[in-house]
Every structure is written in C-alpha cells, then in structure tokens.
C-alpha cells in the first residue's frame, strides 16, 4: 500500500515546479503571519524577544532564494532551521509553564496544543525532506 502511494507521489514531489510552488506557498504563509507586524512596528519585539524585521527578513530571503534557484544549499539551511522549531516551541511552553503556573494557572490545553504543533512541524519537516532538490542529471 505504501509502495503504491510512494510510486504515485514521488514523481510529483520530485518535480522542480512543484517544489517551487511549495516554497512560494511557504513564503506567502510566512508573509501572512509576520508582514503585518513588520509593517506596523518593525522594531517591536516578538514573543521570542527578536525584532519582527529580523525575524521576518532572513527567512523570507531564504524562501525566495529557494523558490528562484531551488538549490541544495538553501534547502539545507531551511531544513536545519525547521528542525530547530520543535525545540523552540517546547522551551517556550516550558518557560510559560514555569512563569505562570502559580499566577494564572497553567492549563493542560497549552501543553496539548504545543504537542499538536510539534507533530505538525515534524510532518512539515518530513515534507521538506521529501521535496529536497535532487542532484543535477549529468549527460
């Protein structure tokens, strides 16, 4: 069953046009999430303590470069940055828990939301791995 699914999906995922569309959609999603904050107050700090302009610009430039050139180097950088996201989410959840557990009460729904987000990010990392650029075919 999985072999049939792999044989059907693999040619689609290895298509460079499809890969570029995926990175374009990721750029649109990133812009949708952060661009209003960048426009409103670029120097204001996010919940991570990083100014929005510094948080938005490098990732947007990497996604644009991957969309235009579709190179293994930019894919690797994006892949490594994505691999750090689950750890960042877990540490943010833990710091929220230690800071607010006695004041407002920590709800377990935050924990389960974090776990769901980590699972979603791991699936996203798997997708990034599957659509990695292949080596150029040499005649």
The three-class DSSP label of residue 50 is coil
| pLDDT confidence bin for 138, thresholds 50/70/90 | very low
Mean pLDDT of 60-81: 91
Q: Are 119 and 112 in contact (CB under 8 A)?
A: no
* pLDDT for 28 beyond 90: yes
DSSP character for 46?
-
What 125-133 contacts at long range (C-beta under 8 Å, 24+ apart), as own/partner pairs, is 125/79, 125/82, 125/83, 127/22, 128/75, 128/78, 128/79, 128/82, 129/79, 130/13, 131/13, 131/14, 131/18, 131/19, 131/22, 132/72, 132/75, 132/79, 133/16, 133/19, 133/70, 133/71, 133/72, 133/75
pLDDT of residue 131: 87
Q: Cβ neighbours of residue 75 under 8 Å, at least 6 residues apart?
A: 66, 128, 132, 133
* pLDDT for 37 beyond 60: yes
pLDDT tens-place string over residues 85-134: 888 877 777 776 666 665 555 566 677 888 888 898 988 888 888 888 87
Q: Are 22 and 129 in contact (CB under 8 A)?
A: no
pLDDT, the chain, mean: 82
Mean pLDDT of 66-92: 88
* pLDDT for 64 beyond 80: yes
């Amino acid at each position: 069953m999985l072999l049939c699914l792999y044989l059907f999906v693999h040619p689609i995922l290895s298509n460079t046009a499809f890969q570029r569309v995926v990175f374009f959609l990721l750029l649109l999603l990133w812009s949708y999430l952060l661009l209003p904050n960048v426009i409103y107050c670029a120097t204001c700090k996010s919940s991570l303590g990083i100014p929005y302009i510094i948080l938005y610009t490098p990732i947007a430039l990497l996604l644009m470069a991957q969309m235009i050139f579709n190179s293994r180097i930019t894919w690797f950088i994006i892949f490594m940055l994505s691999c750090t996201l689950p750890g960042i989410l877990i540490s943010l959840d833990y710091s929220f828990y230690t800071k607010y557990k006695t004041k407002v009460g920590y709800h377990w729904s935050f924990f389960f939301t974090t776990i769901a987000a980590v699972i979603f990010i791991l699936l996203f990392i798997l997708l990034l791995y599957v659509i990695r650029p292949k080596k150029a075919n040499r005649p």
